Amino acid sequence: MEEDLAALEARLFQLLSEHRDLDTAIARLSDHAITDQLHIQRLKKRKLKLKDEIAWIESRMLPDIIA
């Protein structure tokens, strides 16, 4: 169980890092007068997928709470 948690934490750290990198890349591309809107849309789509995976991992890391 602890190994699973460590693997989830490592994956979460990796996803959060990539999410931040995409934020930076999108901001940098958006600042230029000539931008490739299709490329920006693809980056934003990838960022949303990362956000979903981050949320899934975070929910797996929380203990089940019986109300």
Residue pLDDT, tens place only, 19-28: 999 999 999 9
Q: Does any domain span residue 31?
A: yes
pTM: 0.79
Q: Does any domain span residue 43?
A: yes
CB atoms within 10 A of CB 62: 7
Q: Does any domain span residue 6?
A: yes
| Domain hosting residue 52, numbered range | 2-61
d(CA 54, CA 34): 32
- pLDDT (average), residues 46-57: 96
Contact, 60 vs 22, CB < 8 A? no
Q: Which two tokens stand for residue 63?
A: 């203990």
The count of structural domains within the chain is: 1
